[in-house]
Amino acid sequence: MEKNVNILFTTMTTNMLEIFNYSFMIRAFTAGTVIGIVAPVIGTFLVARRYSLIADTLGHISLAGVAIGLLLGINPIITALVAAVIMSLVIDRLRSGKLVSGESALAMLLSGGLALAIVLISLAKGFNVDLFSYLFGSITTVRPEDLYLIIPLGLLVIVLTLLFYKQLLYISFDEEGSRVNGIKVTALNTLLMVLTAVIVSLSIRIVGSLLIGALIVIPVVTAAQIARSFRSSIALSILFSLFAIVVGLFASFYFNLAAGGTIVLVALIVFAITSLFK
């Protein structure tokens, strides 16, 4: 009996690990691991500052950047990155200039970004398979050249976050007090916006432009249910994010599901379980 159980376990393990025989899945897991770490790190600061909506806004802007890249024959991640960074600076300018309230600016730009994307898509004669994968994520579309952008930029996000961790933490909870104490709040706000734009544009291959906001926010909110400090909240959110990505990628591969939607659903299930049994 024990021998049969061991054989069954070995067979199941072998079948599960078959996923790593495919180079596109290795690339997907590599990109997913990077995104699974950096997204909740920045997301923790965004949630603390009530900036959760900015991820969705930049996701829609990134979709417009993707459409531009496909129209011009340029790597869509590059054009999405440029569009998201530019718009993050615009958002920061609108917010700091008090021209409109932060929520109003995000709502307008979210709708505007989606409208621009729709117009550009119509110029490209409607949806195609490649563009659809950018909307909802696809495990088969992560290319080697994408990793050349995702890995170094992901490392850059981590390094900058570590360097300015204390200042970002301070302005997240007391912006006015930070100004009084000589912290360069404007520059740090700009940095946070740009880092968010980088993460959003890098994540669209795995999660999709319409779902990236969920990956940035849900693991952070889940971690907040049980975390006892800001540092532990970051650590737990990374753990929950990586779990959602790994399980989501396995499920999307073996059950032929959309990667982005599966990852977000796993993250929501973890949140529900944590809320029930915290």
The tens digit of pLDDT for each residue in 202-220 reads: 888 788 887 888 889 999 9
204 phi, psi to nearest 5 deg: -65, -25
What band does 14 get if pLDDT is binned at 50, 70 and 90? low
Q: Which residues contact 200 (CB under 8 A, 6 or more apart)?
A: 55, 58, 59, 62, 84, 209, 212, 216
Rounded CA-CA distance 127/70 in Å is 11
Give this prediction's pTM: 0.85
CA distance 215 to 199: 11
pLDDT at 8: 39
Provide mean pLDDT across the span 113-133. Answer: 71
Tell me which residue has tokens 């319409």.
210
Between the alpha carbon of residue 209 and those of residues 36, 153, 169, 227, 267, the distances in Å are 15, 18, 27, 29, 17
The pLDDT, as a whole number, for residue 16 is: 63
Residue 17: band (very low, low, confident or very high) from pLDDT cuts 50, 70, 90:
low
CB 136 within 8 A of CB 208: yes
Confidence of residue 167 (pLDDT cuts 50, 70, 90): very high
